[in-house]
Amino acid sequence: MSAVEFDLDAYLARIELSLAEGFVADIPLLHRLHRAQALSIPFENFDICLGKPIKLDAQSLQGKLVRQRRGGYCFEVNGLLLLALQALGYEARVLLCRVHTNGQSTGRTHQICLVKVAGQDWLLDVGFGSNTPTVPLPLEMGVKTSGFGMHYRLTKDNELGYVLSCLAEADTASQPLYSFDLGHVTPADIELGNYFTSTSPESFFTSARVAVLPVTDGQVVLLDDCLKLRRDGKETQLPLADDVSYLQALQEYLGIYLDVDYAELKPLFNSVN
């Protein structure tokens, strides 16, 4: 990816991150970058609900997420993050993961970033919905990493490879989120996962409207017609009406502007089999 193909200045303006002249691509900047994008670009699947193809080339990602100020799901938001990392001089590449949140592992349908800084490997993920890690995670087994009130830990499984889990506050229970290995990922692997996830009736994203935006004291979570505002450990639920006010709520609470009629916004399939 060349500097010409990625507009770093426009990206930094989009996530409201300023860099000093002569900045160094180090670990503190990695944390700042991850936090800035997580707080600025929402996780959302509305183009899938509108029946639009999800394009992952550099021009399309920048057009939608930067210039149009939209969000996207993992292949988009983490794809954009990867471009930014590489443009900033980091050694970064894609990993594909199997999702475990429903009790069974999927195919490799979740994309994250692996970054090596000063000899240490880090995982960056800004696209896993309400369980999105809001800080970079060191690729170290058994280390508890916390951010924005969420807690994570990596373990190793003989069959699945690395397993990332979300921890309860007291560490008494954990929920496996996804598993992965460090094998090479090709563009065809990414396209295959993206196509299945954005078009298959077996995919969660074709049967529900979803959006998540972390905030400094919690997060805003949308699932279909229910908007949840989680702030300082408290949750407020706002039911949304099936009319234009739905689109207005997307813009007010999530910063998502859709220039469509409400009737166009529907899942592609009614339910997941």
Task: Give residue 57's pLDDT.
Answer: 97
* Mean pLDDT in residue range 36-52: 97
Task: Assess contact for 113 and 104: CB atoms under 8 A.
Answer: no
Question: In which band, very low, low, confident or very high, does the pLDDT at 270 lie, cut at 50, 70 and 90?
Answer: low
Distance CA 5, CA 227 (A): 36
Residue for token pair 């859709």: 258
Task: Assess contact for 40 and 252: CB atoms under 8 A.
Answer: no
251 φ/ψ sector (left φ>0, alpha ψ -120 to 50, else beta) = alpha
Token representation of residue 74: 């993992």
Task: Give residue 271's pLDDT.
Answer: 52
Token representation of residue 238: 């706002």
| Residue 109 vs residue 233, higher pLDDT | 109
Q: Which of the residues are catalytic?
A: 74, 110, 125
Please provide the size of the chain in residues: 273
Question: Any idea where the domains of the chain sit in the sequence?
Answer: 8-264
* Helix, strand, coil percentages in the chain from 3-state DSSP, rounded to 5: 30, 30, 40
In this structure, how many other beta carbons lie within 10 angstroms of the beta carbon of residue 265? 16
Q: Name residues whose C-beta falls within 8 Å of residue 25's C-beta, 6 or more positions apart in sequence.
A: 88, 89, 90, 117
pLDDT averaged over the chain?
93
Kindly report, residue by residue over 173-198, the tens digit of the pLDDT.
688 999 999 999 999 999 999 999 99
Q: What DSSP letter does each residue of 52-82 carry, written as one string?
A: -----SHHHHIIIIIIS---B-HHHHHHHHH
Q: Is the pLDDT assigned to residue 201 strictly greater than 60?
A: yes
Label residue 37 exposed, middle or buried (CB < 10 Å: 0-12, 13-18, 19+).
Answer: buried
Q: What DSSP letter does each residue of 201-256 carry, written as one string?
A: TTSGGGT--EEEEEETTEEEEEETTEEEEEETTEEEEEE--SSHHHHHHHHHHH--
Phi, psi angles (nearest 5°) of residue 162: -80, 140
* Mean pLDDT in residue range 88-106: 92
Give the CATH architecture of domain 8-264: 2-Layer Sandwich (3.30)
| Residue 114 vs residue 150, higher pLDDT | 114
In 3D, which of 210, 192, 134, 133 has the Cα closest to residue 165? 133
Question: In which band, very low, low, confident or very high, does the pLDDT at 10 lie, cut at 50, 70 and 90?
Answer: very high
pTM here is 0.94
Kindly report, residue by residue over 135-144, the tens digit of the pLDDT.
999 999 998 9
- Residues of the chain with pLDDT > 70: what percent? 95
In 3D, which of 46, 120, 33 has the Cα closest to residue 78? 33
Token representation of residue 10: 């426009």
In 3D, which of 78, 65, 53 has the Cα closest to residue 132? 78
Task: Give residue 69's pLDDT.
Answer: 97
Q: Is the pLDDT assigned to residue 273 strictly greater than 70?
A: no
Lowest mean pLDDT among 14-28, 63-77, 161-175: 161-175
Q: Is the pLDDT assigned to residue 168 strictly greater than 90?
A: no
